[in-house]
Amino acid sequence: MKNEIHPPYQDILFVDSSTGMKFVCGSTLQPTATEEFEGKTYPVYRVSVSSSSHPFFTGSKQFIDTEGRVEKFTKRFQRKREEIAQAQEKEREKKSAPEQKKKKTVRKKATS
């Protein structure tokens, strides 16, 4: 690595603001606040979501959509197909209705 172009790498205390969980991890972040953790002072960076609060890791369904994008598209596409099929059926009925009117029943005259 070239000297003086990279920020310093240091241990930082990350605090999950929703659960209060704390963990130390190396980073190049440069926070100004400090906090003591396990007898040592670290720069502190507050995060909104971590593994202790993210739904994937906790197993909660708090932020998960009820349907995925594909399911929503499929449902919407199916509705469109049904609407088109109904419109085509109405067109067929309109076309067949005049043909039925044109057909006249021919009665045979009774000869005696």
Where do we find the tokens 């044109």? 102
Considering the chain, what percentage of its residues have pLDDT values greater than 70? 72
Mean pLDDT of 79-93: 89
**pLDDT band at residue 110 under the 50/70/90 scheme:** low
Residues 33, 41: Cα–Cα separation, whole Å? 10
Do residues 29 and 6 touch, judged by C-beta distance below 8 A?
no
- In 10 A of CB 54, how many CB atoms? 14
Q: How far apart (Å, rounded) are the C-alpha atoms in residues 30 and 110?
A: 109
- In this prediction, residue 22 carries a pLDDT of 92
Q: What is the pLDDT of residue 12?
A: 92
Distance, in Å, from the CA atom of 75 to the CA atom of 67, rounded to the nearest integer, reads: 10
Radius of gyration of the chain (CA): 36
